[in-house]
């Protein structure tokens, strides 16, 4: 609108200014008579496809703790939402508390060299409303980032060993090294030279399968950050809102989810785990007979003849 005042100062008539600017003569007069340059009125925000679902999103994010946009998008689609993911991410970002993660050094390993293993805990409410939990076993191939996830009722030694064998069968081979935390099912202590005293059952498994066990630094979970990230990914992407009949049903869903995320482009590598998986140089599995003793669940018979 500054052009109107400049043209008027140059001596042009209202009719001529209207012809030159394309505005009506009444509009030209209104601006010339105004004591100051009129300001554009704020435009009210346009309605969004997300508006009807914002109360539900707040409930899921703030009360249920579900802030993963892929999970939220899936739930909104079930309610009839037809909008996109970007507007959902922008809105959810405003509901999340700011994060300031500590800086850590990332390291990569060659194909087939290393896998990381850990347990997590996932809580849920059963049909009676009681809070219960299951353990989540996760193994991550460090080069390809491919995941194996299994839910189990306990995290004892026998379960730990069987989960590893099923993970190796899922991957079709064994890495050269496995990185663990400092749990008692992994190592019993440290010798005089500061070397780990491995649990004998785990050491037997390592000898049969041909891998070298290793432990991360105490109280430094980031040294096995890839599997830590995998557990967080399970808890934020797979677990929220998950419904299941029993552990068999839950583990069928978990394997299907592992296959699904293996098709997605990884944020760090920029490639799909299923593509990098073809480059993993895993050692072949031994004959099933050599693993049979590890798959037997042992129970102590009590004096009264009952077995736990």
Where does the pLDDT of residue 39 fall: very low under 50, low under 70, confident under 90, or very high at 90 and above? Answer: low
Q: What would the pLDDT profile of 252-275 be if each residue is shown by its tens digit?
A: 999 999 999 999 888 888 899 999
Mean pLDDT of the region 283-294: 90
CA–CA gap between residue 115 and residue 214 (Å, rounded): 10
User: Which structure tokens are listed for 61?
Assistant: 């994010």
Provide the pLDDT for residue 159: 93
Count other Cβ atoms within 10 Å, centred on residue 73.
17
User: Which structure tokens are listed for 180?
Assistant: 């663990």
Identify the residue with better confidence: 141 or 219: 141
Helix (H) or strand (E) holding 92: helix 85-95
Query: How deeply is 251 buried, as exposed, middle or buried, from its count of CB atoms within 10 A (0-12, 13-18, 19+)?
Result: middle
DSSP 244-298: -SSHHHHHHHHHHHHHHHHTSPPTTTSS-HHHHHTT--PBPP--HHHHGGGGPPP
Identify the residue with better confidence: 119 or 127: 119
Q: What would the pLDDT profile of 49-102 be if each residue is shown by its tens digit?
A: 889 999 999 999 888 888 899 999 999 999 999 988 899 999 998 888 777 666
Provide the pLDDT for residue 190: 85
Q: What would the pLDDT profile of 218-253 be if each residue is shown by its tens digit?
A: 655 555 567 788 899 899 999 998 999 999 999 999
DSSP 179-191: EE-S-TTTEEEE-
Give which of 63, 53, 55, 88 is closest to 241, Cα–Cα: 63
Name the 3-class secondary structure at 121.
strand
DSSP 48-75: -TTGGGHHHHHIIIIIS----HHHHHHH
pTM above 0.75?
no
Mean pLDDT of the region 276-300: 87
CA–CA gap between residue 111 and residue 177 (Å, rounded): 11
Provide the pLDDT for residue 225: 67
Provide the pLDDT for residue 204: 94
Q: What would the pLDDT profile of 6-16 be if each residue is shown by its tens digit?
A: 777 778 888 88
């Amino acid at each position: 609108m500054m052009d109107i005042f400049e043209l008027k100062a140059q001596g042009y008539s209202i009719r001529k200014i209207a012809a030159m600017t394309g505005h009506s003569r009444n509009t030209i007069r209104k601006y010339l008579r105004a004591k100051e340059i009129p300001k554009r009125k704020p435009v009210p925000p346009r309605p969004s496809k997300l508006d009807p679902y914002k109360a539900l999103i707040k409930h899921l994010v703030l009360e249920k703790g579900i802030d993963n946009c892929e999970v939220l998008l899936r739930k909104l689609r079930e309610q009839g939402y037809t909008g996109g993911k970007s507007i959902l991410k922008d809105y959810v970002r405003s509901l999340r508390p700011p994060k300031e993660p500590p800086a850590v050094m990332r390291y990569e390993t060659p194909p087939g060299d290393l896998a990381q293993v850990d347990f997590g805990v996932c809580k849920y409410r059963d049909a009676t409303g009681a809070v219960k939990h299951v353990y989540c076993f996760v193994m991550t191939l460090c080069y390809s980032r491919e995941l194996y996830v299994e839910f189990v009722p306990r995290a004892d030694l026998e379960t730990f060993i069987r989960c590893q064998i099923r993970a190796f069968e899922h991957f079709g081979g064994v890495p050269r090294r496995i990185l663990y935390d400092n749990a008692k099912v992994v190592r019993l202590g440290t010798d005089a030279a500061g070397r780990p005293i491995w649990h004998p059952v785990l050491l037997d498994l390592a000898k049969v399968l041909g891998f070298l066990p290793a432990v991360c630094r105490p109280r430094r979970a980031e040294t096995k950050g890839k599997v830590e990230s995998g557990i967080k990914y399970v808890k934020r992407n797979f677990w929220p809102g998950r419904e299941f009949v029993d552990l068999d049903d839950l583990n069928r869903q978990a394997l299907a989810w592992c296959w699904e995320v293996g098709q997605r482009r990884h944020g760090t590598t920029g490639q799909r785990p299923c593509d990098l998986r073809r480059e993993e140089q895993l050692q072949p599995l031994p004959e099933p007979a050599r693993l049979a003793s590890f798959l037997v669940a042992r129970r102590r018979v009590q004096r009264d003849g009952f077995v736990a």
